[in-house]
Amino acid sequence: MLRTAFEEAFRRVSAISGNLARLAYLASLQQQPGVYSHWGLAHDYGEEPVCDAFRHAHWMVLENMLQTDLSELEGELAMHAEDTMETKTKSLRNLLDQAALIPMNPGKHVDAHLKYVFASLQALARHSS
């Protein structure tokens, strides 16, 4: 059975555990903000469909993250910190320092919500250190 570029992109993103790690992965696929590249999928489906698929997946991950309880995100941060062998504070700082962690033009309400979520995670990380 043949899959679409979106199905393949979503399958790859879904294989990653946690919204924060998924955002980091999607940020790593961008050669410039909003332009996603994956050699293997581009070879099979073409650059444009793959770029569109990962752009859509990025928004889906972001929407899912914004609907996730802070306690669950704190658990994801702990897992990510363990995977990278860093403290939660350093792990979150490194995530936030990634270019294009957030999809382009999120809108002011989404941006405000994200800032709140990340500030809350930073406070929780500092408190638990």
Domain borders along the chain are 5-128
Tokens of 27: 């940020």
pLDDT digits (tens, 9 = 90+) for 72-118: 999 999 998 998 899 999 999 998 998 888 888 888 999 899 999 99
Tokens of 54: 């990962």
Instruction: Please report which confidence band the pLDDT of residue 31 belongs to, taking 50, 70 and 90 as the band edges.
Output: confident
- Stretch 17-34: mean pLDDT: 92
Q: What's the whole-number average pLDDT of the chain? A: 91
**Which pLDDT score, from 0 to 100, does residue 84 have?**
87
Three-class HEC string of 99-118: CCCCCCCCCHHHHHHHHHHH
Indicate the pTM of the whole model. Answer: 0.89
- Stretch 32-56: mean pLDDT: 93
